[in-house]
Amino acid sequence: MPYCFDTVAPIYDLVMPKRRPDEFLGMLAASADDAILEVGAGTGRIAKHYAPHAGASVLLEPSHRMLKRAQRQVPLAVHVQGTAEAMHFDDESFGKVICFDSIHHWSDQERGLEEVYRVLEEGGLMVVVEVDPSTFWGGKVAMMERCLGMRSRFHPPEPLRQMMESAGFRDVAFKDVGSDMTYGVVARR
């Protein structure tokens, strides 16, 4: 049976790391002028840190139960059920798009990146954190997700950079996110 985030939503925040993602938040640098979209927002565990500083925050999440939890954690954000591959937002709607630990869950990563590019305004910033399967702990995460029935597709940094550039992103750069199993990426439209 395939993995279902609706099933784990009630305990998701209990099993995820409690560390505040300061390096990521530094890359994002949310301000009152920002319209931010988070793709794969889950329970809002990351949004609760940046949304109070942003002008507008939209949390996109395919799991109904995860989104319900996000509504409680980040009540001022706009909550939208949907996927990266088929976003129903106007072109160039957001100044920043966040993908924190979500790209590996997208069913069509190339299409999802094209959609992110489409909804990001010219010069806008995409900020990503992903698990690196080529590291010891990243490999363990990838193996665990396979055992749980997830259809995750993890990429080391260089292949993800190439996918982002193929979708049209420029100035793709890797950033330290203070973890030995994840990496950060920033890019411009």
Dump pLDDT digits (tens) for 152-175.
899 999 999 999 999 999 999 999
Domain assignments of the chain as residue spans, ordered by start: 5-188
CA distance 76 to 166: 34
Number of neighbours of residue 11 by Cβ within 10 angstroms: 9
**pLDDT for 123 beyond 50:** yes
pTM of the complete model = 0.89
> What CATH architecture applies to the domain 5-188?
3-Layer(aba) Sandwich (3.40)
Structure tokens at 28: 């994002």
Q: Across the strands, what pairs with 37?
A: 58, 97
Query: What is the rounded average pLDDT of the residues 83-87?
Result: 96
Give every CB contact of residue 182 below 8 A, 6+ residues apart in sequence. 101, 129, 130, 131, 132, 138
Among 64, 25, 16, smallest CA distance to 48 is for 25
pLDDT for 149 equals 82
Q: Is 180 exposed, middle or buried (0-12, 13-18, 19+ CB in 10 A)?
A: exposed
Q: 32-42: per-residue pLDDT in tens? A: 999 999 999 99
- What is the model's pLDDT at position 179? 84
Does the pLDDT of residue 13 top 80, yes or no?
Answer: no
